[in-house]
Homo-oligomer: A and B are copies of this chain.
């Protein structure tokens, strides 16, 4: 079974995670059989290791990590890269995949553009 990890930055304010929770709900509504965990780089819990351990406990033999970040900053390239290496060392039998950050996805850029244009006053 393949699990998904939505990997975000984390913040002190619990409201920050609400869009991540909504995203998980949306994914679960569309793919009810796919286990989805959130994971956070800092401040919030669980971290990547704990999220992956949850998925393994739920029977996953592969996990796909989706960085919920705009771009390839140091959090994605360096911090997440190191965390993924550690995860592979800790779970040698687990197939760990990591995709580019969501902000590089063409459909996401299109939705962001629609959102921005819809924000303009009607008389633009």
CB-defined contacts of A108 to chain B, threshold 8 Å: 108, 111-112, 115
Residue total for A at the interface (Cβ-Cβ under 8 A): 55
Interface membership of A109, Cβ < 8 A: yes
Does the CB pair B107–A34 fall under 8 Å? no
Among the listed stretches A16-24, A51-59, A80-88, which one makes contact with chain B, having 4 or more residues with CB under 8 Å of it? A16-24
Interface string of A59-72 (1 = CB under 8 A from B): 00010101010111
Does the CB pair B73–A102 fall under 8 Å? no
Interface string of A1-15 (1 = CB under 8 A from B): 010101011011101
Task: Give the number of times this chain occurs in the complex, counting copies.
Answer: 2
Q: When chains A and B are docked, how far (Å) is the Cα of A102 from the Cα of B19?
A: 10
Across the A-B interface, the 8 shortest Cβ-Cβ residue pairs: A111-B111, A19-B103, A26-B113, A105-B115, A16-B73, A11-B73, A99-B119, A16-B71
- Show 21 residue pairs from A and B whose CB-CB distance is below 8 angstroms, ordered by the A residue: A2-B121, A2-B123, A4-B120, A9-B70, A11-B73, A23-B112, A23-B116, A27-B116, A27-B117, A31-B117, A62-B121, A64-B120, A66-B116, A68-B112, A102-B112, A107-B111, A107-B114, A107-B115, A108-B108, A108-B111, A110-B111
